Amino acid sequence: MDAIELTERIRKKDLRGADLRGADLHGADLHGADLRDATLCDATLRNATLCNATLCGATLRGADLHGADLRGADLRDADLGDADLRGADLRDADLCDADLGEAALGGATLCDSRWWNTRIRWRGSTRFVCLLERRSTLSPPAQTPTPGADAPAPDR
């Protein structure tokens, strides 16, 4: 994809399947963008606006999302392994079936986010449970334990 085509796709916010490895999208306005199955490995999305963006199946391994606004974003089945999500706003985001690997989540806002069957590995002394707000959903709607789920259900 050449620069002109990429610019047009960003303007239209239609980036389905786009290869944006290492792209510098620092502070970009991608509110409501369609990034399904996009490849954003090692991309810089620091302080970007991704409210209500669709990132289902996207690969964001190693991406810099520090301070990004991901309110209401659909991140189902996304690969966020080793991504920097420190200070990101993930309120009402759907992270079901996502893989966060050892993503950095310090200072992230996670209120009302959904984490059913999300995979995450602990990094250093980060206490993931302390980051979650009480209304976040860590299990299926019926609150039944799911074999293999990495995150515990919240105390009610």
33-62, pLDDT tens digit by residue? 999 999 999 999 999 999 999 999 999 999
- Rounded to a whole number of angstroms, the distance between the first and last alpha carbons of the chain is 49
138, part of any domain? no
Q: Given pLDDT bands bounded at 50, 70 and 90, which one contains residue 135?
A: low
- Flag whether pLDDT at 10 surpasses 80: no
> Is 89 a domain residue?
yes
Q: Evaluate whether residue 86 is within a structural domain.
A: yes
Q: How far is CA 17 from CA 84, 118, 121, 142, 150, in A?
A: 22, 22, 27, 34, 28
Chain CA centroid to CA 8, Å: 24
Tell me how far apart the alpha carbons of residues 55 and 67 are, in angstroms, rounded to a whole number.
17
Query: Which one is predicted more confidently, 62 or 150?
Result: 62
| Residue 121 pLDDT | 81
Overall domain count for the chain: 1
Of the two residues 9 and 13, the one the predictor is more confident about is: 13
Vertex 138: Cα angle to 128 and 72 (nearest 5): 90
Find, among 86, 67, 111, the residue nearest to 95 by Cα: 111
Where in the sequence is the domain holding 71, given as residue range(s)?
1-123
Q: What would the two tokens of residue 67 be?
A: 């301070």
**Residue 139: inside a domain, yes or no?**
no
